[in-house]
Amino acid sequence: MLRAHRLDALPSQLYMRPPFALTLINRELGILEFNARVLAHHAARDLPLLERLRYVCIVSGNLDEFFEVRVAGLREKLRDNPAAVSSDGMLVREVYRAVAERACELVQQQYTALTQDILPKLAERGVVFHAADDWNAVQREWAARYFHRELTPILTPITLDPAHPFPRVSNKSLNFIVQLGGRDAFGRAVRLGIVQAPRTLARVVRMPTELSGHPYGLVLLSAFMEAFVSSLFPGIEVLGCYQFRVTRNAELFVSEDEATDLREALQGELPERHHGAAVRLEIARGAPPPLVDRLLREFDLGADDCYRVDGPVNLVRLLTVPDMIDEPDMKFDPFVPNIPAEMAGESVFRTLRKRDVLLHHPYESFAPVLEFLQEAGRDPAVLAIKMTIYRTGSESAVMEALIDAARHGKEVTAVVELFARFDEETNIDWSARLAAAGVQVVYGVMGHKCHAKMTLIVRRENDALGTPYLRRYVHLGTGNYHARTARLYTDFGLLTSQEEIGEDVHHLFQLLTGAGDPPKLHHLWHAPFTLHDKLIEKIQAEAEQARQGRPARIIAKMNALLEPTVIAALYDASCAGVRIDLIVRGVCALRPGVPGLSEHITVRSIIGRFLEHHRVFYFHAAGQDQVYLSSADWMDRNLFRRVEIAFPVLDRRLRDRVLREGLRLPLRDNSNAWLMQSDGQYELRRSRAKQRLSSQGALLAHFRQGRAGAGKVPLLPLDPRLRKRQE
C-alpha cells in the first residue's frame, strides 16, 4: 500500500511555530529564481563569450518548459478553483501575478544582456548580426535573392477576413503579424495578414564574408521577413511586420481506464501538444497596441501573459550560433572524459568480479556503460539483459546495443517510460524498433513514471568447483542512459556484481514487468514504497543522535527539494542540533537559517559549465558514513508517484570518492556557489580566500591529470579543516 503524506503527520515541534505553509518557498517562484541564477552566470568571470550567449539562450529554453508545464498548471487551477491555495500558503491567483511579474523581469534582463552586452562584444570579435536597416546595396541584393530563392516558395501569406480565419498557430512556432492597408484585386479591404515560418527554415543565416565585411556576418530570419514581406502581398501597402510566438500547454492526457495499448494511445495524443491552450504571447516590442490586443483576444490571454521583447522572440534558436563560429578561444576548452584504469583493456565482467566500479560523469566517460552492454550482447555466457529507459536520445548506441543483443539470441527486456516529458515521441520510436528486433518491451506502471536507472545482466558462470550458476551484473545510476547528456550533466554510475544488490534489482524488474506485493530488498530503497520512509528514518536517526549529544551530520545533493514531510523532518533535525548542508541545484522549498527552525541548515546551488544532476545522500550514522546514490529528488512526484531507487555505495574506497567529489568539494566552492537566504533569495558566495575554487573546474583538472597519468586518478585530498567542521 502506498503511504500517504499528510501535513498532520509532521513533527509535533512544528505546531509551536507559525503555520507550516509559511515555512515553505513557493515552487514556481523558486524555479524562476533558479533561472535567474543561470542568467546571472552568463557574466561569470573568465566565461568565454560564446558560452555566455549559450547561458542566455538556455534560460529561454527553461522558461519555455516552465510556461508549458508550470504556468499551464496554474491557469488550470485558477479555472477550476479561483480560491485555490498553493502548498506554501499563497493564493494561486497571487502566485500567478507574482510569476508574471518575476518572469517579465527575467525576460527584460535576458534581452538587456543580449543586446547591450553580448552582441556588442561579439561584434568586436567579428561576429556581427546584420539588421535590415543597416544593409548596404550589395548586402540587400544578396538578401533579396536569398528571400526569393529560399523563403518565398515555402511561405504562405494569409490575409484575415471571413473567408480566411486566423490560422492555427503551433506551440512555440515563429509567426509574423503584418499590418496592411488598401484593397486587393477582388476589391476587398485588407487590414491584417499572418505569415507562419515553417520549422524547416533556418533562423540564422550566414552572409558571405566578402559581403559582410566581417569574419562572421549573420542574418536573422526575422530580418529577411521585415525587409521583404511586402513581396508576399503585392500591390498592398505594408504598414508594419512584427514577429510573435505563442507558448501552449504541453501536458498530455491518456486515460488509464480507456487505454488498451499505451504506446498507441500516447501516439494519438502527441499531435495535440502543439495546439494546447495558449499560456504566453511573446511579441516584438514595437508592435502597435491594437495588434497586440488582437492577438491576446485570439489566444484568450490577458495583459499579464504578454511579453514584449527587443530581439528574436525565440532565443533558443541562437544556440546554433556557437556551432557556426570557428573560434576556439570563444568557447570552453575541449575535454575528453577519462576512462578508469580498471576498465581499460579487460573484460567488464572480469573487472566486476574483482571490484565495483564508480563512474563520475562527465569527468569520466560513459563508454564503460556502453561496453558493458555491448560485451553482454556478444558474450555466449550472457543469457538475459534487462534495462529501464527514461531518456536516451533519437540516436543511441545504448539502444542499438540492446537490439544487437536480441538479434544474438539474448533474452532482452526493456522497460520504456513513454511519458518522459518531451521525449515521448523518441521513446515511442525506440519501443517500436526494440519490439521489432525481438526485445520484450513493457511500459512500466500506469500512473507511476519509471524514473529509476537500472541495468541487469544475467550470466552463466562456474564456481571454484566448476559447478555452473547464474551471476548477476548491475549498473545503477543517478542519470539517464543518454550518451550526449552524460557529457553535459554531472552524474554517478555504479557497476557491480555484488550478489545482494543484483538480487534486489532482479526483484524490482519482476515488479515492473509483472505484479505482486512490494519486494523486501537487502539494500535498495524504492519509491513509491520504501524510499520516503527510509529517508525520514535516516533523518530522524541523526536527530536522535544529536539529542543524545553525539555527532550527527547530513549532507544531501539533489536537483529539487519540495516534499513537505521531508522538509519538516529536516527542520526537526536542525532543531535537535544536526548540521545539515543541502546542495540543491534548482527549486528548494525549505527556508534555511531561520532562528529556532532551520538555523543549522545551509542550502547552496552550483551553477557551472555542466548541469549539476546527481543525487547523493550522506548520513553520519553514528560514524558509519552511509552514502546513497539515487535517481530521485526529494519531491512529491519522485517519492510517491514514480518508480525510483536509492542505492548504497558499499565499497569504502568508492564511498570516499563520492564524498569528496560529490559533496565535500561542492561545499568548498567559492566561485560558482549561490547561498540561499531565509527569504528564498540567493547570493553568490563571496569568499575571503585568496584562491577561488570552482568544484567543476577542480574536477576537470583532476581528471585531466588522470588521463595524463595513464588513466590512474588518485583520490582528491580532503581538506582537514572541513573534516573537523563536519565531525
Q: Which residues are designated catalytic? A: 451
Nearest one of 140, 213, 526, 497 to 353, comparing CA atoms? 497
Query: What pairing do the DSSP bridges indicate for beta strands 601-606 and 673-676?
Result: antiparallel
Residue 84, all three cell numbers = 485555490
Q: How far apart are CA 24 and CA 678, in angstroms?
A: 10
With H, G, I as helix, E, B as strand and everything else as coil, classify residue 358.
Answer: strand
Within 8 A by CB and 6+ apart from 571, the residues are 11, 13, 14, 23, 590, 597, 598, 601
Does residue 702 have a known ligand-binding role?
A: no
Helix (H) or strand (E) segment spanning residue 159? strand 157-159
Mapping DSSP onto H, E and C, the string for 188-225 reads CECCEEEEEECCCCCCEEEECHHHHCCCEEEEEHHHHH
- Whether the CB-CB separation of 340 and 359 falls below 8 Å is answered with yes
Q: How far apart are CA 343 and CA 711, in angstroms?
A: 9
Does residue 585 have a known ligand-binding role?
A: yes
Q: Provide the residue type at 23 as one letter.
A: T
Q: How far apart are CA 391 and CA 12, in angstroms?
A: 41
Q: How far apart are CA 340 and CA 348, in angstroms?
A: 12
Compute the residue count for the chain.
727
- The distance of Cα 475 from the centroid of its chain, to the nearest Å, equals 22
- Whether the CB-CB separation of 424 and 443 falls below 8 Å is answered with no
Within 8 A by CB and 6+ apart from 604, the residues are 581, 582, 583, 584, 666, 667, 669, 673, 674, 675, 676, 685
Does residue 378 have a known ligand-binding role?
A: no
- Whether the CB-CB separation of 457 and 450 falls below 8 Å is answered with no
Q: How far apart are CA 693 and CA 552, in angstroms?
A: 27
> What is the signed CA dihedral for 15, 18, 24, 29, rounded to 10 degrees?
160
b/e per residue, 247-264, with b = 16+ CB within 10 A?
Answer: bbbbebebeeeeeeebbe
Q: How far apart are CA 328 and CA 205, in angstroms?
A: 21
Does residue 553 have a known ligand-binding role?
A: no
CB atoms under 10 Å from CB of 429, counted, come to 13
Phi, psi of 248 (to 5 degrees): -125, 160
Does residue 721 have a known ligand-binding role?
A: no
Query: What pairing do the DSSP bridges indicate for beta strands 237-248 and 174-181?
Result: antiparallel
Q: Provide the residue type at 527 as one letter.
A: A
Helix (H) or strand (E) segment spanning residue 263? helix 262-269
Q: How far apart are CA 41 and CA 114, in angstroms?
A: 13
Within 8 A by CB and 6+ apart from 22, the residues are 88, 89
Does residue 613 have a known ligand-binding role?
A: yes
- Whether the CB-CB separation of 656 and 715 falls below 8 Å is answered with yes
Q: Which residues are annotated as a binding site?
A: 62, 391, 421, 489, 585, 613
Q: Which residues are annotated as a binding site for ATP?
A: 62, 489, 585, 613
Q: Which residues are annotated as a binding site for Mg(2+)?
A: 391, 421
